[in-house]
Structure formats: structure tokens, C-alpha cells
Structure 1
Amino acid sequence: MGDATMALRTAGSVLVVFLWSVAVVLGQYIWSVTYTTQSICALKGSAVELSCSYTYPSGYTITTTFWFTKIYAEENYVSLKDDPDYKGRVTYREDEENGHTLTITDLRESDSATYKFRFTDQTGTWRYFGRPGVSLSVTGLQVKVTGGHQDKTLTCSTTCTLTDNPTYIWYKNGHKVKEDTSSLDSDSFSDADSYSCAVKGREDLHSPAVCEC
């Protein structure tokens, strides 16, 4: 009984080592891209970072790396740096261990798209990009009014849920009155005043003002 158990344990150990060895060997032949996050909602006018890491077979040298959203023709991928819609708003940063970060500044609602990373080796024939990419949604701020005359609520509305879960700042007649959630109840405002909102850390990006006259 003891010998049988020992044999099973030995066989199990050999199997684990074998599978680990296979994984290591296969890892040397994998082309892949892994995105840090696959969905981001960011504020119009702000900046955003999209990042990924990539692997490639040993023996190759990576010569070209870039992010893109557009393919104009077969194998004709356009780097964001060469895209006139992003001129002067895009930077790339190579990180350690094959990491890559894309930064887009002065975000526009038209920047809402799926961003993918692509790399090419020294032969120019091995090209790879990761799926599904990063889905970026860009939203502005808008104050919406709900409820009746006595129980109105102001809501700082966005078209998607901001990824960084910010604190909202409320302004009355251009002056800060409260840091709160995205909603402001009726006991916090009065008639004949205008209200706008922003998110903490980007107070320069106000919503259009709404008058409760």
C-alpha cells in the first residue's frame, strides 16, 4: 500500500513538472497582448492612460509598436501619432517588461472608440494586435433637473459611469457650495440662482449652468 501511494505521488510530481515545462516552452512561442483594463469612461477635456503588456517568441526583436483605432485597408493600420484627429494629443511610453502606455490629452467625445495595440518584429512579416482592445467612452457633464417645484433634485449627469468614481462639486452662481454625490437635493438650492457641477480634481471642466429661475 505504501509503495503504491509513493508511486502515485512520484507520478503526480513528474506530471506537474512536465506540464510546467510544457507551459514554459509554449510561453516562448506565444504572441499576445494583455490590456490592463478593457473599458474606460473618461471626462471630456481631461486626459486618459490606456496600458497593455505584450509577449513574443524568443529570437525575435520588436521594431514597431503603436496604438490604433482605424484600418484604412488590408494591413494598413494607422498609428494614432499619424492620425490627424489626434495630432498633438497622443504620447507613447514604453515600460519595463514589454509594457506600453498610451496617453490621450484634451479628450473629445469623438475619441470614443476601441483602441488596440500592435507590434511588428524585425522581419516586418510578423504583425500582431490584441483583441478585444480597450473601449474608451468620453462624456461631458450636464445638470439635469427632476421632481416638482417643492422637491426638485439636480443631477450631474454623464453618458457613462466615470471610471475613477469621482466626488462631485456643485457651484451656485459660479461659486463652490458643496462637495457631494452626483445629486443635489432641493434644500440645497434656491430660486433665481444658476447651478453647475464638476468633478473633484478637474474643477476647470464645469458643466453648462442651469438656472432654477
Structure 2
Amino acid sequence: MLMWLRMAPALHLIFLLIIHRVSSADWGVNYSPTQFCALQNSTMTISCTFTYLTPGYQIRKVFWNIDQVKQNDSFTDLSNNSEYSQRLQYLGDKQQNCTVRLSHVTKKDEHEYYFRFITNVTGGMWIGNPGVRLSVTDLQLESPERVTERDSVNLTCKSSCNLTDTPTFIWYRNSQTLTNIGDELYIRSVSRKEAGNYSCGVQGQTYISPAVYLNVRYAPDTPVISINRSAVIMEGDSVTLICSSDSNPPALNFSWLKGETFVGSGRFFNISKISSDDSKKYKCRATNDLGEKYSDPVTLDVQYPPRNVSVSINRSAVIMSGDSVTLSCSSDSNPPALNFSWFKGNKSLNTGRIFNISKISSDDSGEYKCRARNDHGEKYSDPVTLDVQCE
């Protein structure tokens, strides 16, 4: 009898252990997914369900934990962690749903996450192990270092892990949204207008990859010659011609031609004291690594007042009284002289390039000269003497 009394408490303990025993078939936590790849600064939602089918148990507490961290031999509640309390939202209940949402994820959130539930029965508790492994990724843009205009170009948006939430990739150029979607941006024949800073992101998310500059190279466009003077170019002026061309890389080699003769190099071509001999057609050539191009010719119109004014007579023989005599005035000037005046001695006679005496007489004998005039000045010819002889 004494022996039975001693054994009774032991048998009673064994019976309690059998009743309170937790079976993995009846108790458990199910995560979906078990591996999670989230984008920086995004929000992730872990779908979670749990079961506890042993009769008589009631859920007293549910919470999430990371890396099975314990304090005083108890798993810690993640919602009490200051780094998570404002970002962690429990979406479940105390029956079956243990779904949780974590917002604004960063690389510091890369942990293994576990769900824990505790019942009203001593020892009636469970942690879903293994948990959910979270990886956090940024986006990186892969682009060729440099391309040439009309090349085919492929840009790729990459992450360090495959994003769990099926992403729709979107693209930006110079912060402007493009219509293209997908993790690759294909440009069949790139133009210089498509150069710029490219970045990619995921639709519905705020994170955008670091920008990568797409450098589109091209040969020089037709150069343009400009002149440092907007007014009339006068003989003796200093004139500078400037050659400009759009190219990438910028043209560093410039050559100058006067007619077909090479006359200088460099983007600037200076003529310190221009003369009428410089009234020619000029063109420049711009060259970079991808090719060369010539400008359209530019003519320098060097203007000057009349010079080399002279008088010619239509008769080379002796002038007889009664003859018809014509005097012609010629001048070298730019613009051409249009104003001519005639003088006999100091007496003004007539105007026009031609001075005609229909029936000359001895009274017409004497020194004649003409004056040529344009917008820039005037000049007299040397005198010509008419010696009218009588029969």
C-alpha cells in the first residue's frame, strides 16, 4: 500500500505529459514564401497561417521574432523593437492568420523572421522553424560605356536577388518617365537626342536606381563659320573667322582653306590687316575620332574706296577739230563707284562714267579729269590733255 501511494504521483505526471504533448502533425506554422527578396524602401507582406488542433488550448499571445533572438530564455517580440515598432504591422488574428507587413525595408532588415504563438497551457507554445529569410536588394543599371549614333543599345535593370513580388520595371531618362516597361530597355538605332541619365525602378515603388549616363558619340555636323564683325569689312580691318561644329567628342582639330589652299588651323582664323586680295571663299574642316566635315564656303567681301581712277580716250590718233571724242572714267573700288563727275581744269562739266564731245573744237583743248565716288570715299584721276588741232 505504501508502495502504491509513492507511485501514484509519478503516474499522474506521466498522464499530464501525454495530454499536453504538442504534435507536429496538429501544430504548425506555414509561411508563403519562405524566401523573400524585397526592394529597398518597399513594403513586404509575408503570408502566414498557423494551426493548433489539440482541444482545450486557447491562444494567449502571438508575435514575430528575428533570428530566434531570446531575452531571459524567452523569444523577443519584434513589435517591441524600436527599429521595427513603427514599420511592423500584424495583419493576422489569434485563430489561424499570422500574416505580417513590414514597410520601408533596408539592408539592415536582412534576417530570418519567425512567428511565435503561446497558449494558455503551460508548455503549449510553438515557433515556426525554419522561418522566412529576407533579402533586400537595390537596383543597378548595366549600360555600355559609350555608343555611337545609330548603334543598337541594350540597357538592363538588375537586382541582387529575384524580387518576390512580380515586378513591373519602368524606365526614366533625365528623370522623365519613358513608355518602355521590362527589365531591359532596347534602343534599336540610338540618336544623340537619346543621350542622358538613365535609371530604372519598379512600378508602385519609390526606389529608383542610381542614374547611368548614356554617352552617344557622333561625327561632326556640317561646321558653321561666323565672323567677329557684323558691319561692313573695310580694307585694313582685323577680321576673325570662327569655326563651330556639333560633335561628340568635341572636335579638337580644325583646318582652314582659302579657295583650295590650306591657310591655317585652329577654331579661330585671324586676318590682322585684311586687303582686297583676301576677298575669297573660305571654309573650315572639323575633325574628331569618328570623322570629318567641311563647312559651306563663306566669301569675305572686303570693301574700299575708289583707287586707280583713270581716264581713257576712244581715239588714239590726233584729235582734229570737228571730231567726236569720248572720254571714259574707270575705277577700282568695292562697292563699284556709281557716281562719276568730269572736270576741265577746276570747272565742273558733267556726270556719268562717259563724257562725250560730239564736235570738238580748239576751245575744248585742255586738261580733263574725272572723279569716282562710292559709299566709302572718292578719288580724282590724273589729268588727261586734249590737244585739238585745226585743219
Q: TM-score band (shorter)?
A: 0.7 to 0.9
Structure 1 counterpart of 2:42, from 42, 46, 52? 46
Question: Given the superposition, is the C-alpha separation of residues 201 and 58 from structure 1 closer, same or farther in structure 2, using an over 3 Å criterion?
Answer: same
Residue of structure 1 equivalent to 2:328 = none
Q: Which has the higher contact order (CA 8 A, sep 6+)?
A: 1
| Preserved contact between residue 28 and residue 58 of structure 1 (Cα < 8 Å) | no
Q: Which has the larger share of strand?
A: 2
Residue of structure 1 equivalent to 2:132 = 134
Deviation of residue 105 (structure 1)?
0.6
Deviation of residue 160 (structure 1)?
0.6
Using structure 1 for the length normalisation, give the TM-score: 0.77
| Preserved contact between residue 169 and residue 176 of structure 1 (Cα < 8 Å) | yes
Deviation of residue 164 (structure 1)?
2.2
Deviation of residue 104 (structure 1)?
0.4
Question: Given the superposition, is the C-alpha separation of residues 111 and 30 from structure 1 closer, same or farther in structure 2, using an over 3 Å criterion?
Answer: same
Deviation of residue 124 (structure 1)?
4.7
Q: Kindly name which structure, 1 or 2, has the bigger radius of gyration based on alpha carbons.
A: 2
Deviation of residue 175 (structure 1)?
0.5
| Preserved contact between residue 147 and residue 153 of structure 1 (Cα < 8 Å) | no
The SS at the match of 2:83 is helix
Structure 1 counterpart of 2:100, from 82, 102, 110? 102
Residue of structure 2 equivalent to 1:63 = 60
Residue of structure 2 equivalent to 1:84 = 82
Counting matched residue pairs gives 187
Unpaired runs of 5+ in structure 2?
A: 1-21, 216-391
Residue of structure 2 equivalent to 1:193 = 196
Unpaired runs of 5+ in structure 1?
A: 1-25
| Preserved contact between residue 114 and residue 130 of structure 2 (Cα < 8 Å) | yes
Distance 1:29 1:181 in 2: 43
Written as runs of structure 1 = structure 2, the 5 A alignment for 1:155-174 is 155-174=156-175
The SS at the match of 1:110 is helix
| Preserved contact between residue 153 and residue 190 of structure 2 (Cα < 8 Å) | no
Q: Deviations over 1:142-171 (max 9, x none)?
A: 212247734543211111111122221111
Question: Given the superposition, is the C-alpha separation of residues 104 and 124 from structure 1 closer, same or farther in structure 2, using an over 3 Å criterion?
Answer: farther
Distance 2:123 2:95 in 1: 23
Q: Deviations over 1:98-125 (max 9, x none)?
A: 1111110111122122111001111353
Question: Given the superposition, is the C-alpha separation of residues 172 and 68 from structure 1 closer, same or farther in structure 2, using an over 3 Å criterion?
Answer: same
- Structural RMSD (CA): 2.6
